[in-house]
Structure 1
C-alpha cells in the first residue's frame, strides 16, 4: 500500500528518549539467537561511473542518467532507498529490496537492462512491461529507477490490469502466492507462504516468522497498514468479514516479543534507513494482541 500522508510527524516521528535505548538491542522475550552471519548482506558497492549507452531506451518517460545513478545508489547497504512512495507497489519493493541487499550486481543489471530493453530477468522471473508503463513519466512521484523496476514488475505480472501510472491502486496489489512465486522464479531457496487473505494470523505464526528471520531467512510480513502507523492499532479499517491486509513490509530486526511489549523494525516506504520502528512512539508499549489484529502472515525465503 502507498505510504499514508500525515499533516505532522506527531507520534510517528523519531524521539530521543530513554525508551529509545531499547532500539537495536536484544531484550527479554526475543526469539532465539540471531546469527549475524546468517545473511550475506553486501557492503557498500564501489564502482566507477559506468559509460552510459547511447540511443533510444525502452523506457522513454525517465532519463537514463537518473536510472543508472539510482540503481548504483541502491546496491548493497543502499537498498533501503528503494521507495514506492505514493504508489501501491509494496510487493515489488520487497522483492527489489531483498535482491539489492543480497545480490546488488543482479539488481543493478536487472534495473539497467529493463530500462534499456524493456525485457529483463531475475533467474526465471522474466519481466516485460507494456508500452504505456514504459512511456510514463512519474514526475517526481517516485524515483525513476524505482518506477522502472517496481512498476515494471507489477505491470508485467498483471494478467488483466495495466500498471501505467502511480495512482493505479488496484492494479498494484500483490497477493501472497504471487510474491512467493516471484521469489521462487528469481532463484531464492526455501520459499514459504504462511498467510491468509481474509483472517488474521496467530501469535504462533508471527513467532514462526521471527524464528525464520533469526535463522537467516528474509521475511515479508503481510499486514494492515493500521498496525504500523497507529499509536493504538486495534482492529484494521475493514470488518473481519473482509480482508484488510493491504501492505507488505520486510522484517529487519526484532528487539522484543513479549506479550505486553512488542518491538521490531521493518523496511517500508524506503524510510528511516530501512529500519522503520514498530511502534513509532518510544513511549508506547505495543501489545502482541493489538499487533495480531493487523497481521495476516508472512512469505519467507533464503537469500
Structure 2
C-alpha cells in the first residue's frame, strides 16, 4: 500500500499565521483510534482553530468524513507535519504475494455439529453489529493497510519540510546576531545557511556523507555552551521524529515559538538576539540551528535570567526535573529513574540503568564531563545519552566486571556525536565515580 502516516489527535500542524507556529490537532474521531489516539478527519481543527480542509484521503472515511494524514492542509494555510508510527493511509493498493492456506479436514466433525445445531436453533440470521464492528467497518480500508511506518518515512517528511521552507517566499525571521546583523556577509542566521544546516544535519544523522561548508555534526552540538540538557532532548527528537525536529527549528526561526506535543517553546527577545555569538567566524561557538533549538528550549524555562550568549553558563544548566518535563510534555514516558542526588552510582545501579540501552528507550545520564574524551570538570556537570553499554576486554560490563578493568568500547551521545567517547584508559572504577544515575524515557511518538 502506498500512502502517508495517519493523522491523529495531538499530532502537530504548522500554521503560517503570525504567532501560531506549531499547533497540535485538537479534535478527532470519538470512536476510531490509531495508536490509542483519535483519528483526525476533514473539518477537525488544530489548537489555533484551523480546520483540516484539504489533501485528505477521500476513499477512507472515518465517521463519514475523509481521513487526514501527514501533509493534509488547514484553513489557515497550515500543514499536518506529524502522524502515526504504525498506520498509513492511501488511495491506491499495491498487490502483495499471497499463498492460500491448505484447507483443514474438518468435515467429519462439522457435519454432526451442524445437524445438532439445526434441531434446536431457528434459521440463522446475521448478528447485530457492535459499535466496535461498526467503527471497523467504517475504516475497513484504513485497517486493511495498517503497517509500521519506517524511519525513512519521517526522514523523507523532514526533507520535504526543509524543501517547502526553501521554496517559501517569506524572509521574515526573529533571530539576529547583534554583532553580525541581517544583510551582512557574516550573518549566521541567514535563511540559506539555516536550510543548508538542516539538510546536512538530517542526512548525517542517518549516516549519509554530505559535503558542506557549514560546520555541522550529525547530532545537536552544544559546543562552547552549557546546553547539554537541551542537546539530549533534541538528540532524542531528531532520532525519533526528524520531521518534528526540522519543523520546530523552522517555526522558531520564523515566528519565535513552536510546540512539540504539549511542550511550548518561546524564547525571550535577548535569546533571539544573542550577543558575542561568534569568535571570528559565524557559528564557531555554536551553529545557528543548535542555538535556535537548544538555547530557545533552555531560555523558555528560565524565570530569572535570559540566555543571551553562548558564554552564559549558569542560565544554561539543566536540572533533572527539567529534562523529565521536556520529554514527558513531548509525549514520552518515564520508564526508569535512578538519578543520585547525594553521590555517584554503584556497579549494580549502573548495570540496571544500562539494561535499557538501545531498542525502544532513551537512556539519559547525568555525569561528570571528564568521563567523555576531551571533557573537563568535576561533579554533575554534563548530560549524555547511552546507546550501547560500556564494554571491557572481558565483554559487556556486568556485576562480575572487576573495577580495574579498562573500558574499551561503548556508544554514547555527547557534543554532536554518537560513538565510543569514554575517556581513553578509563577503568570501571573511574567510570562509576563520574556517573550519577540516569532517567530512561520511551521513544517520542
Which of the five TM-score ranges fits, normalised by the shorter chain?
0.7 to 0.9
Counterpart Cα distance in 2 of 1:91 and 1:115: 21
Stretches of structure 1 that go unaligned for 5 or more consecutive residues are 1-39, 239-243
Deviation at 1:121, TM superposition (A): 1.0
Deviates most, 195-204 or 47-56: 47-56
8 Å Cα contact 2:358/2:387 also seen in 1: no
Counterpart Cα distance in 1 of 2:439 and 2:194: 29
Of 377, 380, 383, 1:245 maps to 380
Counterpart of 2:440 in structure 1 is 300
Q: Counterparts of 1:236-275 in structure 2 under 5 Å? A: 244-254=379-389, 255=391, 256-257=396-397, 258-259=401-402, 260-262=405-407, 263-271=409-417, 274-275=418-419
Counterpart Cα distance in 2 of 1:293 and 1:41: 39
Of 272, 278, 291, 1:134 maps to 272
Counterpart of 1:30 in structure 2 is none
Q: Counterparts of 1:201-220 in structure 2 under 5 Å? A: 201-220=345-364
Counterpart of 2:185 in structure 1 is none
Secondary structure (helix, strand or coil) at the match of 2:155 reads coil
Counterpart of 1:65 in structure 2 is 192
* Root-mean-square deviation over aligned CA pairs: 2.4
8 Å Cα contact 2:334/2:439 also seen in 1: no
8 Å Cα contact 1:66/1:145 also seen in 2: no
Please list the CA deviations of residues 236-295 of structure 1 after superposition, one character each: whole Å capped at 9, or x if unmatched. 965xxxxx1000011122342133243312111114xx214324x3xx3x3222111111
Considering only CA atoms, is the larger Rg found in Structure 1 or Structure 2? 2
Counterpart Cα distance in 2 of 1:220 and 1:168: 23
Of 56, 79, 95, 2:233 maps to 95
8 Å Cα contact 1:183/1:191 also seen in 2: no
Of 306, 327, 334, 1:183 maps to 327
Counterpart Cα distance in 1 of 2:438 and 2:223: 22
Deviation at 1:197, TM superposition (A): 3.4
Structure number having the greater helix percentage: 1
Deviates most, 196-205 or 219-228: 196-205
Secondary structure (helix, strand or coil) at the match of 1:226 reads helix
The 3 A distance-change label for structure 1 pair 53 and 186 is: farther
Counterpart of 2:337 in structure 1 is 193
Of 106, 109, 114, 2:252 maps to 114
State the structure with bigger RCO (CA 8 A, min sep 6), 1 or 2.
1
Deviation at 1:221, TM superposition (A): 1.2
8 Å Cα contact 1:252/1:266 also seen in 2: yes
Stretches of structure 2 that go unaligned for 5 or more consecutive residues are 1-148, 178-188, 208-216
The 3 A distance-change label for structure 1 pair 88 and 121 is: same
Deviation at 1:41, TM superposition (A): 8.2
Counterpart of 2:431 in structure 1 is 291
8 Å Cα contact 1:252/1:267 also seen in 2: yes
8 Å Cα contact 1:133/1:165 also seen in 2: yes
Deviation at 1:215, TM superposition (A): 4.9
Counterpart Cα distance in 1 of 2:150 and 2:316: 28
Counterpart Cα distance in 2 of 1:156 and 1:115: 15
Deviation at 1:212, TM superposition (A): 1.0
Secondary structure (helix, strand or coil) at the match of 1:142 reads coil
